[in-house]
C-alpha cells in the first residue's frame, strides 16, 4: 500500500462516508417502502425485504472492514483466516433463526391442537413478571 498524503487520506475517508451514507439512505427508503409508509397499501414481501437488508448490511460491513480497518491491504491468508469465522457466524445466525421459526410454528400448531395446555404466545414478546410478595 502506498502511503497517502493527508489530503489524499481525507478525500478517501470522505468518499467512504458518502458511500456508506448513500447505502444507509437506500436502506431506510427500502424499510419505509416495505412497511407501507411511502406508498400507502404497498408492502414488500418479508423474505425479499429481509434479504435486501442483509445484502446492504453485508456490503457496508465488508466496506468498513476493508477500507477503514485496512483489511484489504493485508495478506490473503489473514483475510481468509478472518473470513472463515465470519462465514460460520453468518451460518449460525441463519441456523438459529430457522430453528426459532420452526419452534414458533410447532408451538402454534400445538396450541391449535391443545389450546388449554399451551399458554398463548405474546405478540410483542413481553416478559411475564413474577407476582410481587
Which is higher by pLDDT, 127 or 42? Answer: 42
* Residue 102: its H or E element: helix 76-113
pLDDT tier, 40 (very low <50, low <70, confident <90, very high otherwise): confident
Mean pLDDT of 122-126: 55
Q: Are 71 and 65 in contact (CB under 8 A)?
A: yes
Q: How far is CA 14 from the centre of its chain?
A: 25
Instruction: State the alpha helices, DSSP H only, in 35-75.
Output: 46-63
pLDDT at 121 > cutoff 80: no
Residues 60-73: tens digit of each pLDDT: 988 998 888 888 88
The structure's pTM equals 0.60
Which is higher by pLDDT, 115 or 70? Answer: 70
Domain-by-domain residue ranges, the chain?
1-73, 74-118
Q: Would you state the pLDDT for residue 86? A: 84
pLDDT at 85 > cutoff 60: yes
Which is higher by pLDDT, 45 or 125? Answer: 45
The number of helix segments (H) and strand segments (E) in the chain equals 3, 0
pLDDT at 129 > cutoff 90: no
Query: Among 72-76, 112-116, 127-131, which range has the highest average pLDDT?
Result: 72-76
Q: Are 46 and 35 in contact (CB under 8 A)?
A: no
Cα pseudo-dihedral 122, 127, 128, 129, rounded to 10? -160
Amino acid at each position: 500500500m502506498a502511503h497517502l498524503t493527508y489530503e489524499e487520506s481525507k478525500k478517501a475517508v470522505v468518499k467512504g462516508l458518502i458511500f456508506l451514507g448513500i447505502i444507509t439512505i437506500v436502506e431506510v427508503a427500502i424499510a419505509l417502502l416495505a412497511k407501507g409508509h411511502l406508498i400507502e397499501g404497498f408492502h414488500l414481501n418479508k423474505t425479499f425485504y429481509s434479504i435486501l437488508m442483509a445484502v446492504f448490511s453485508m456490503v457496508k460491513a465488508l466496506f468498513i472492514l476493508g477500507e477503514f480497518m485496512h483489511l484489504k491491504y493485508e495478506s490473503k491468508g489473514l483475510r481468509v483466516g478472518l473470513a472463515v469465522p465470519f462465514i460460520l457466524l453468518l451460518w449460525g445466525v441463519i441456523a438459529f433463526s430457522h430453528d426459532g421459526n420452526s419452534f414458533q410454528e410447532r408451538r402454534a400448531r400445538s396450541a391449535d391442537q391443545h389450546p388449554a395446555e399451551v399458554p398463548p404466545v405474546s405478540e410483542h414478546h413481553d416478559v411475564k413478571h413474577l407476582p410481587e410478595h
